[in-house]
């Protein structure tokens, strides 16, 4: 039985990846941060009885700022595969908390890689790199596009990217960078723009809210469906050697178009309900991200199946179903 460690298991991607790996027969070890409130909502359906001998999901407390804990966990689990997904992942927040973002998203990666090297195990390592690393470089962006990060988050991710490459080249680690463009789902955090809008459209249609406050509607993003992207992560670690891959749909959508997709789906006029709040603007914006994932298609046989408009409908439908629960 293969064993995997996932950092960031409680997040959107962590939860879909856990489902995928359990279905493939893996034993999955997740690292979670201690909190006084429950933070395991996205994986609860997978983690029912810790005393069940059939239970193949094991959770461990740990944190990316705690190197000795990372060493003991790697030593204890001795994973065949490590998926490093944990990060302070909110771009806007990274402008307010640049040091924390650098410490977790950037240095946290160095701590994990160094833990693997210190324990000396033979494992395969997935680094959650990001299209934010391209920042100001115009689209289309591929594996050979120069980087120009425009936020503390993008800069921290770029450090992680180069650390993973360095461990591959200097220490012979099977390390992979998955340069993933935005990928969304009903499990997306509620402050990211796709989920925020899908949720608002549903609630406005149900008469629970009247307005949604947004920042820049002109930004262009390449939004794909998260469950397909975690399949791509797994494929990267099954390849013959460690390499870097872009995963994207190749489709450009503005935030405004996303608003239209969501509001049209519930039959509401978006212009009556969307208001501007400058608090959601960023000091520097990434204007346009559109990925070219032809290398992943050629090498891994991976292509995005769900396109942005269909994705918007999936997310709005999930919100409508969710908000109806418990209604009289
Ligand atoms: C690949 C990359 O993908 C994500 O980063 P992001 O693209 O910044 O995602 P977002 O959903 O926060 O913003 C998308 C766009 O939408 C604009 N926007 C307008 N109005 C609001 C607004 O009200 N809220 C937010 N959040 N954004 C807004 C905002 O200015 C930006 O242009 C993370 O997963 C990150 O971890 C990652 O790696």
Is residue 203 within 8 Å of 194, Cβ to Cβ? no
Q: Over 50: is that where the pLDDT of 321 sits?
A: yes
Q: Minimal CA–CA distance to 144: which of 177, 116, 190? A: 177
Among 149, 193, 221, 258, which is best to mutate for testing ligand 1, by the most ligand atoms less than 8 A from CB? 193
The yes or no reply on domain 193-220+252-289+306-324 and CATH 3.40.50.1100 is no
pLDDT band at 328 (very low <50, low <70, confident <90, very high): very low
Q: Report domain extents, the chain.
A: 3-184+225-247, 193-220+252-289+306-324
Q: Which atom of ligand 1 is nearest to the CA of 281?
A: 30
The yes or no reply on domain 3-184+225-247 and CATH 3.40.50.720 is yes
Q: Minimal CA–CA distance to 281: which of 190, 214, 201, 221? A: 214
Looking at residue 327, what is its pLDDT?
55
For residue 281, the CA-to-ligand 1 centroid distance in Å is: 10
What global pTM score does this model have? 0.97
Q: Which residues of 240-263 are buried (b: 16+ CB within 10 A; e: fewer)?
A: eebbbbbbbbbbbbebbbbbbbbb
Question: Comparing 3-184+225-247 with 193-220+252-289+306-324, is the CATH topology the same?
Answer: no
Looking at residue 48, what is its pLDDT?
72
Spatial distance between the Cα atoms of 37 and 51, rounded to a whole number of angstroms: 22
What is the full DSSP assignment across 231-275? HHHHHHHHSSS--EEEE-----EEHHHHHHHHHHHTT--GGGTEE
Annotated binding site: 125
- Mapped onto helix, strand or coil, the DSSP state of residue 278 is helix
Q: What are phi and psi of 206, to 5 degrees?
A: -90, 5
Average pLDDT score over the chain: 96
Q: Which tokens belong to 137?
A: 């470089």
Can you tell me the mean pLDDT for 71-92?
Answer: 98
pLDDT band at 325 (very low <50, low <70, confident <90, very high): low
Is residue 276 within 8 Å of 209, Cβ to Cβ? no
Spatial distance between the Cα atoms of 130 and 161, rounded to a whole number of angstroms: 9
169-227 pLDDT, tens digit per residue, is: 999 999 999 999 999 999 999 999 999 999 999 999 999 999 999 999 999 999 999 99
Q: Is 130 a catalytic residue?
A: yes
Name every protein residue with a CB atom under 6 angstroms from any ligand 1 atom: 89, 91-92, 130-132, 181-182, 191-194, 196, 214-216, 219, 221, 255, 280, 282, 285
- Mapped onto helix, strand or coil, the DSSP state of residue 203 is helix
Using the 8-state DSSP alphabet, how is residue 182 labeled? Answer: P
From the candidates 26, 153, 225, 261, give the one annotated as an active-site residue: 153
Spatial distance between the Cα atoms of 96 and 263, rounded to a whole number of angstroms: 31
Q: Is 159 a catalytic residue?
A: no
């Amino acid at each position: 039985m293969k064993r995997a460690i996932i950092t960031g298991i409680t997040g959107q991607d962590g939860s879909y990846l856990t489902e995928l790996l359990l279905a493939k027969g893996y034993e999955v070890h997740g690292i979670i941060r201690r909190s006084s409130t429950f933070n395991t909502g996205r994986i609860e359906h997978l983690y029912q009885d810790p005393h069940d001998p059939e239970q193949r999901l094991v959770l461990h407390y740990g944190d990316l700022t705690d190197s000795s804990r990372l060493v003991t966990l790697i030593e204890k689990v001795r994973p065949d595969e490590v998926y490093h997904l944990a990060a302070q992942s909110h771009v806007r927040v990274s402008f307010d908390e640049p040091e924390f973002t650098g410490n977790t998203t950037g240095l946290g990666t160095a701590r994990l890689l160094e833990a693997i090297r210190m324990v000396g195990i033979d494992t395969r390592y997935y680094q959650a790199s990001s299209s934010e690393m391209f920042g100001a470089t115009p689209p289309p962006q591929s594996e050979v596009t120069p980087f120009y990060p425009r936020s503390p988050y993008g800069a921290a991710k770029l450090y992680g990217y180069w650390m993973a490459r360095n461990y591959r080249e200097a220490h012979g680690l099977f390390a992979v960078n998955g340069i993933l463009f935005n990928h969304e789902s009903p499990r997306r955090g509620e402050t990211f723009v796709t989920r925020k809008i899908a949720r608002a459209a549903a609630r406005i249609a149900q008469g629970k809210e009247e307005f949604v406050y947004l920042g820049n509607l002109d930004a262009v993003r390449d939004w794909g469906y998260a469950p397909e992207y975690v399949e791509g992560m797994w494929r990267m670690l099954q390849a013959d050697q460690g390499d870097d891959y872009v995963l994207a749909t190749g489709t450009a959508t503005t935030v405004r178009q996303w608003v239209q997709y969501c509001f049209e789906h519930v039959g509401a006029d978006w212009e009556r309900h969307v208001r501007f709040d400058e608090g959601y603007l960023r000091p520097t914006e990434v204007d346009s991200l559109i990925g070219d994932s032809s290398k992943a298609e050629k090498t891994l046989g991976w292509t995005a199946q769900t396109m942005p408009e269909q994705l918007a409908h999936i997310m709005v439908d999930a919100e409508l179903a969710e908000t109806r629960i418990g209604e009289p």
